[in-house]
Chain A
Amino acid sequence: MSQLRPGREVMVIGVGLHPFGRFRDKDLASLARDAVVAALKDSGVPWKDIPVAYFGHVYYHGMSVGETALGPLGLTGIPIINVENACCSGSSAFWQAYWGIASGMFDLALAFGAEKVPSGPVTVTAADSPERYIGGDHMMAGYALRARRYMAETGAPPEALAQVAVKARQIAAMNPFAHRKDTYTLEQVLASRLVADPLTLFQCCPTSEGAAAAVLCAKESLGQFGVDAGRAIRVAAATLTSGSYNGKGSDHSAFSPYRTAQAGQQAYEMSGLGPEDVDLVQVHDAATIAEMQHLEALNLVPPGEGWRATLDGRTALGGAIPTNTDGGLLAMGHPFGATGIRMVHETVTQLRGEAGPRQVPGAQVGLAQCSGAGDVTTVQIFTK
């Protein structure tokens, strides 16, 4: 498979975030630009040196928003590509930036993403779709179907699911960029309003606004651009998959976690690393159930053990496999275009040893996984 044969080493040399939350008076392009300026400053590379940019977003804010966001930094004439790939839009932009460099086409690349997600349940299909009448197009109902099945198969109690949300808020209380920083008890999570049982409101990620950006550079070009090699983080793998036949058909809402296994396996092969090497992980915890299922699919906990790992504290900061170390989707919120690059931001910050009170001591290898409608899945592995 060609995507497993990179031509040369790629490093992340700068990351930037716009805080996640609600910013009614700021347009999408402004959110995005703030994250880009932060990432460029972090990298030390000036905008005029960037030869290509990929922008992830989903909702329509007019055409060519990537160009609108970057134009005010100076019209340098570079290719700017707008990327829509559902909840993996940001990580797909990152994937393209990675391969743009690995293939030898560019020495530097910018990946950024932003979103202003409207409030209320998220749907995947267009307004005139038959799904409006069938009732199956409901993101959290899809996760609820998975949750009930998982609980029946593994014996996981409702408290195990709720603990994922409790952990997310505890971590986010230490993260100034998070949408939700207030903490909850297990009882409060379980007693919050039912959205689609067994999932209560606090077990569903908030819809949010925010932006994230990353600057990538060929390892062999670090010197040429005066980059601090000591803070550069290596991209050991970047994979992207879509749905493959699973014997059951593809109903977009009932995402099957096995697709994570596929993208994860490719990433392990590409990096030459295995689950035992991973020190910390970011997974797509759009709902509590998703975190434990993705951890199982990535072989970071044994099959059917995700809920026990959660209750045991194995997934907490200080546990054997610290998971969603910035608060994840459940507390950061989920601006679709930004989320995948937000995970890159967190992983790079951790591997640099710059995560402050959230720091995982001695972290050498980090993995980030994102999944979205269309059964899109991305996995990246980063090493110090």
Chain B
Amino acid sequence: MTQPNRNKPQSVDSRRLKLTNDAGTQGVLLGSCCRQCGICVFGSASFCQSCTGGDLATVELSGQGILYSYTIVRVPPAGWPGPVPYILGQVELSEGPHVLAEIVDCPETGLEIGMAVVLALAPVKTEGSEAVKVVYKFRPQLTTAGASKARLEAQRKEKP
């Protein structure tokens, strides 16, 4: 019988993020879709937020979306374990629901409402222990990031 590995990375919230490998480097966002009214929400749920029905299917979300809005947080909330400032995004998933999460791998100047973003997982150390939580974040989808970078470079070249 194998002992559970206490240091194995854990999902920050197993109702929203399911890890699909032991290293915690791969995973999918979970959603719930109502079989009665068809509404999908972020995270697993027992009852439909729209029609209150109880016949729901847990689905794996695509992890793709667009940046609905963003802010650069310079005064963090108590207990925030990451670097400051950090970019907080409001992401509209392609399935519809909105998710608040950190935007990573993106320079502040590359942020743009409407840009395509994709799920990115990152390990975060928990306070006072060796345990690691895997947190869902978003990063620019490569094509968009490349396009933004190219646009910025073009702008720079125009300036004397």
Chain A residues packing against B (C-beta within 8 Å): 120-121, 123, 127, 130, 132-138, 140-141, 144-149, 152, 193-199, 245, 247-251, 253-254
Distance from B56 Cβ to chain A, minimum over Cβ atoms (Å): 14
Which of A132, A135, A248 is B97 in contact with, Cβ under 8 Å?
A248
Inter-chain contact A123/B77, CB cutoff 8 Å: yes
Distance from B70 Cβ to chain A, minimum over Cβ atoms (Å): 6
Which of A132, A135, A196 is B102 in contact with, Cβ under 8 Å?
A135
Can you sample 11 A-B contacts with CB below 8 Å?
A132-B77, A135-B82, A135-B86, A135-B100, A138-B88, A148-B70, A149-B68, A195-B74, A196-B71, A196-B73, A196-B88
Let me know if B79 is at the binding interface, CB within 8 A.
yes
Query: Taking A148-B113, A249-B41 as contacts, is the C-beta distance between A127 and B74 under 8 angstroms?
Result: no
CA distance A340 to B130 in the complex (A): 44
Let me know if B55 is at the binding interface, CB within 8 A.
no
Query: Taking A135-B80, A137-B77, A197-B71 as contacts, is the C-beta distance between A248 and B96 under 8 angstroms?
Result: yes
Inter-chain contact B72/A196, CB cutoff 8 Å: yes
CA distance A283 to B149 in the complex (A): 42
Q: Determine the chain B residues whose CB is within 8 A of the CB of A133 once the complex forms.
A: 12, 81, 124, 126, 133, 135
Let me know if B90 is at the binding interface, CB within 8 A.
yes
Inter-chain contact A249/B97, CB cutoff 8 Å: yes
Query: Taking A121-B77, A245-B39 as contacts, is the C-beta distance between A250 and B49 under 8 angstroms?
Result: yes
Q: Determine the chain B residues whose CB is within 8 A of the CB of A120 once the complex forms.
A: 75, 78
Q: Which residue of A lies closest to B122 (CB)?
A: A133
Inter-chain contact B49/A145, CB cutoff 8 Å: no
Q: Determine the chain A residues whose CB is within 8 A of the CB of B12 once the complex forms.
A: 130, 133-134
CA distance A354 to B98 in the complex (A): 46
Q: Which residue of A lies closest to B127 (CB)?
A: A132
Inter-chain contact A245/B77, CB cutoff 8 Å: no
Query: Taking A135-B86, A197-B74, A254-B90 as contacts, is the C-beta distance between A146 and B100 under 8 angstroms?
Result: no
Q: 9 tightest A-B contacts by CB?
A: A136-B100, A144-B71, A149-B69, A130-B13, A249-B97, A245-B50, A145-B69, A248-B98, A196-B71
Q: Determine the chain A residues whose CB is within 8 A of the CB of B96 once the complex forms.
A: 247-248
CA distance A135 to B81 in the complex (A): 9
Which of B74, B98, B102 is A249 in contact with, Cβ under 8 Å?
B98
Let me know if B101 is at the binding interface, CB within 8 A.
yes
Q: Determine the chain A residues whose CB is within 8 A of the CB of B41 once the complex forms.
A: 249
CA distance A140 to B73 in the complex (A): 9
Which of A135, A195, A198 is B101 in contact with, Cβ under 8 Å?
A135
CA distance A105 to B32 in the complex (A): 43
Q: Determine the chain B residues whose CB is within 8 A of the CB of A152 once the complex forms.
A: 69, 113
Which of B71, B75, B136 is A148 in contact with, Cβ under 8 Å?
B71
Distance from A198 Cβ to chain B, minimum over Cβ atoms (Å): 8
Which of A130, A147, A248 is B92 in contact with, Cβ under 8 Å?
A248
Distance from A351 Cβ to chain B, minimum over Cβ atoms (Å): 38
Q: Determine the chain A residues whose CB is within 8 A of the CB of B77 once the complex forms.
A: 121, 123, 132, 135, 137-138, 141
Q: Determine the chain B residues whose CB is within 8 A of the CB of A141 once the complex forms.
A: 71, 73, 77, 88
Inter-chain contact A138/B98, CB cutoff 8 Å: no
Q: Which residue of A lies closest to B82 (CB)?
A: A135
Q: Determine the chain A residues whose CB is within 8 A of the CB of B50 once the complex forms.
A: 245
Q: Determine the chain A residues whose CB is within 8 A of the CB of B72 once the complex forms.
A: 194, 196-197
CA distance A196 to B100 in the complex (A): 14
Q: Which residue of A lies closest to B72 (CB)?
A: A197
Which of A121, A134, A145, A245 is B70 in contact with, Cβ under 8 Å?
A145
Q: Determine the chain B residues whose CB is within 8 A of the CB of A253 once the complex forms.
A: 100
Q: A135-B86, A149-B113 are in contact. List 17 more A-B contacts (CB 8 A).
A: A133-B81, A134-B100, A134-B102, A135-B100, A136-B100, A141-B88, A144-B71, A149-B69, A152-B69, A195-B73, A196-B88, A245-B50, A247-B96, A248-B97, A248-B98, A249-B49, A254-B69
Task: Give the most central of A120, A135, A136, A149: most B CB within 10 Å.
Answer: A135
CA distance A249 to B80 in the complex (A): 24
Task: Give the most central of A134, A199, A247: most B CB within 10 Å.
Answer: A134
Q: Determine the chain A residues whose CB is within 8 A of the CB of B133 once the complex forms.
A: 130, 133
Let me know if B76 is at the binding interface, CB within 8 A.
yes
Q: Which positions 12-64 of chain B face chain A at CB distance < 8 Å?
A: 12-13, 16, 39, 41-43, 49-50
Let me know if B99 is at the binding interface, CB within 8 A.
yes
Task: Give the most central of B50, B90, B96: most A CB within 10 Å.
Answer: B90
CA distance A41 to B24 in the complex (A): 64
